[in-house]
């Protein structure tokens, strides 16, 4: 048995989020931790997991140590079943062929909205971030898992800009604004795993990682996190999970 002290934050994210994926699912994965976690799940538990990449890839089997710099290069197509145009692979989301969308996040709010476009006022931004890529499409059209670092500046009450929609203003607002499918399912961080309240669609603790206290969570979260009286605790990464993950990314491109 390993302990959390043996893992980097990105390793915790990759292993914990990998465990949420199930055999037979079709998973649309972003670059970085999502790509690693989906590949880890494929290798350890779910040989029948199908990964999709926005470059147009259907069912690749990423080679250890040959991680792509984004989801648009030739390494993404390694041992794939099919390549499509990027437009057509994204349309699989709209048609409903995808079980889970899986991506990283820069900033998230209590309703699961993600910002990867602007810090500050969009008209006069303090920082222009790279933007949505496929993020808006994935989160608009399917059930989402987000893996990201748990920091107060990243977990805010309301994002500066909704790049990729979660539950918008909560309640039924997502559906009311025309997004008839999908929504945030889980947010995985280095402190725990979070879901959303059925009614209010506010973020809620599903489980905390061993040793993480509510106080520590509050210190690192910019809004009030909902929770039940009893809080579940996750299981520490196994030796096998950690070893396999490190074999996938020996250069520590994404698990540094």
Partner 1 sequence: MDVMAYPALREKLAARDRSLREKVMSLEEAAALVNDGDSVGIGGSTLSRTPMAMIWQLVRAGKKDLAVSRSITSSEGDLLFASGICKHIMTSWFSQGIVWGVSKVMRHHVENKLARYEEWSHLAMGMRFRAGAMGVPFLPMRSMLGSDVLKLRPEAKSITCPFTGEQLLLIPALNPDVALIHVQRCDAYGNAQIDGLQFMDMDLAMAANRVILTTERIVSNDQIRRVPELTKIPFFAVDAVVEVPYGCAPHECTNVYEPLFSHMDDYTSRVNADPVAGMQEYIERYVKEPKSWNDYLGMLGLTELLDAARRGRSMLND
Measured distance CA(187)–CA(111) in Å, rounded: 11
- The two tokens of residue 63 are 């080679």
Closest distance to partner 1 from the beta carbon of 148 (Å): 13
Binding of partner 1 at residue 244 (CB under 8 A)? no
Examine residue 158 and tell whether it contacts partner 1 (CB under 8 A): no
- Residue 14 near residue 32 (C-beta atoms within 8 A): no
**Bridge pairing between strands 50-53 and 118-119:** unpaired
Q: Among the candidate windows 18-26, 55-63, 149-157, 239-247, which touches partner 1 by CB under 8 A? A: 55-63
Smallest gap from Cβ 94 to partner 1, in A, equals 6
3-state helix, strand, coil in the chain (%, to 5): 25, 20, 55
164 scored as a contact of partner 1 (CB under 8 A): yes
Can residue 127 be called a binding residue for partner 1 (CB under 8 A)?
Answer: yes
- Is 173 a binding residue for partner 1 by CB under 8 A? The answer is yes
Nearest approach, Cβ of residue 240 and partner 1 (Å): 26
Q: Whose Cβ is closer to partner 1: residue 215's or residue 251's?
A: 251
Least Å distance between CB 53 and partner 1?
A: 9
Phi/psi-derived region of residue 17, left when phi > 0, alpha when psi is between -120 and 50, beta in every other case: alpha
To the query of whether residue 247 is one of the catalytic residues in this protein, the response is: no
| Signed CA dihedral, 29, 35, 37, 41: sign only | positive
Residue whose CB is less far from partner 1, 78 or 240: 78
Q: Distance between CA atoms of 129 and 123, rounded to whole angstroms?
A: 13
- CA distances, 65 to each of 62, 76, 246, 247, 249 (Å): 9, 12, 9, 7, 5
Residues at the site binding partner 1, with contacts judged by CB under 8 A: 31-32, 54-57, 69-70, 72-78, 83-87, 90-91, 93-94, 117, 122, 125-137, 140-141, 161-165, 168, 173-174, 177-181, 253
Catalytic center residues: 54
């Amino acid at each position: 048995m390993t302990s959390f002290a043996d893992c980097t934050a990105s390793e915790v994210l990759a292993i914990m989020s990998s465990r949420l994926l199930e055999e037979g699912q079709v998973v649309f994965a972003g670059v970085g931790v999502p790509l690693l976690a989906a590949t880890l799940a494929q290798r350890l538990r779910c040989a029948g997991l199908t990964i999709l990449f926005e470059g147009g890839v259907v069912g690749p089997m990423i080679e250890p140590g040959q991680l792509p710099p984004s989801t648009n290069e030739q390494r993404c197509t390694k041992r794939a079943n099919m390549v499509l145009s990027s437009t057509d692979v994204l349309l699989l989301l709209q048609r409903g062929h995808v079980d889970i969308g899986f991506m990283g996040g820069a900033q998230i709010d209590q309703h699961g909205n993600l910002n990867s476009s602007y810090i500050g006022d969009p008209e006069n931004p303090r920082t222009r971030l790279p933007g949505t890529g496929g993020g808006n499409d994935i989160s608009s059209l399917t059930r989402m898992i987000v893996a990201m670092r748990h920091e107060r500046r990243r977990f805010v009450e309301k994002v500066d800009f909704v790049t990729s929609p979660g539950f918008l203003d909560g309640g039924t607002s997502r559906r009311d604004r025309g997004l008839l499918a999908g929504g945030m399912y889980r947010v995985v961080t280095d402190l725990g795993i979070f879901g959303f309240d059925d009614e209010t669609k506010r973020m809620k603790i599903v489980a905390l990682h061993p040793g993480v206290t509510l106080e520590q969570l509050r210190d690192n979260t910019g809004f009030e996190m909902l929770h039940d009286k009893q809080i579940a605790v996750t299981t520490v990464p196994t030796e096998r999970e950690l070893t396999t993950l490190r074999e996938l990314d020996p250069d520590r491109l994404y698990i540094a």
